[in-house]
Copies of this chain bind each other. A is one copy, B any other.
Amino acid sequence: DFMNALEEVHPAFGVAEEELQQVIQNGIIHYDTVVDELLRSGQLFVEQVRSSTRTPLVSVLLHGPPGAGKTALGASIAQASRFPFIKLISPDSMVGFSESQKVNAIQKVFSDSYKSPLSVIVVDNIERLIDWTPMGARFSNAVLQALLVLFARRPPKGRRLLILATSSLRSILTDIGFAETFDSELRVPPISSLAALEYVLREVELFTSTEERRAAVRTLRDSGIAGGSGEEGDDGMSSKLQIGIKKLLSVVEMARQEPDNVGQRLTGALMGLGM
């Protein structure tokens, strides 16, 4: 059927261009220096894998609140590596899989990666891959155990592998025994400053005039949502503004539906987020 047809488009081996594009559909907006730092750190891990023979396996965890941009950043770093093998392991393509089907699908990507001298695997959304639910603390131990072994298993001689994993539930990972598994961790923060927010609003051209945008930001500043008090600089220290870029983009599009009322809908939505 259609879904299968879609999948046949991707070659089993090599670089999963389309899948990676799919998760960066809205691009990367450089709303804060942290965005560039994260991309740079990613690049360093890519280089380590490329050059150090002593560490043929490097695993990195990208963690942060829901919608902070973990998947998009992981995919961007992977793509930028230009390694001959780049794949995404995502729950999106495993709906309805049994535990063993999941384990097999995951393991296959790792096995395939061993055929390439240099590989990157993005393991997206660990909590969903292991079917985690907080009620009763249920999860698939079979998938978890497979990940624990695959994340620590050295590739065969002459092969190098970079693993980029993402998760919104950093603390759960410790509880289930995932601690100490990663060589390194990168935290992807939510947007918490008005400067970053305004940067995004400008990029997505929500407002037709600079005036309107500034008015909206001013409303937010006056509401005390961002915690700061100075006029120009807000440090976000005690900021109540904590919104992932993904959610922000969604709120923006809703506001866009009422052209006459964009500012009010945007600020209303942001202030109503329980912030």
- Give the residues in chain B near A6, CB-CB below 8 Å: 156
Contacts A114-B2, A141-B133, A145-B131 known; A54 to B180 CB distance under 8 Å? no
User: Are A146 and B96 closer than 8 Å at their CB atoms?
Assistant: yes
Is A237 in the interface zone, CB < 8 Å from B?
Answer: no
Interface residues on A, range: 35 or more
Oligomeric state, in copies = 6
CB-nearest residue of chain B relative to A146?
A: B95
- Give the residues in chain B near A66, CB-CB below 8 Å: 180
A150 to B92, CA, bound (A): 7
A148 to B139, CA, bound (A): 14
Flag the segment in A43-51, A79-87, A209-217, A222-230 that touches B: A43-51
User: Are B96 and A134 closer than 8 Å at their CB atoms?
Assistant: no
In whole Å, how far is A138's beta carbon from the nearest beta carbon of chain B? 5
Is A22 in the interface zone, CB < 8 Å from B?
Answer: yes
User: Are A95 and B156 closer than 8 Å at their CB atoms?
Assistant: no
Residues on A lying within 8 angstroms of B by beta carbon are 1-3, 6, 22, 25-26, 44, 47-48, 51-52, 54-55, 58, 66-67, 91-92, 94-96, 98, 100, 103-104, 107, 111, 114-115, 128, 131-139, 141-142, 144-146, 148-150, 153-154, 156-157, 175-177, 180, 183-184, 204, 249-250, 252-254, 256-258
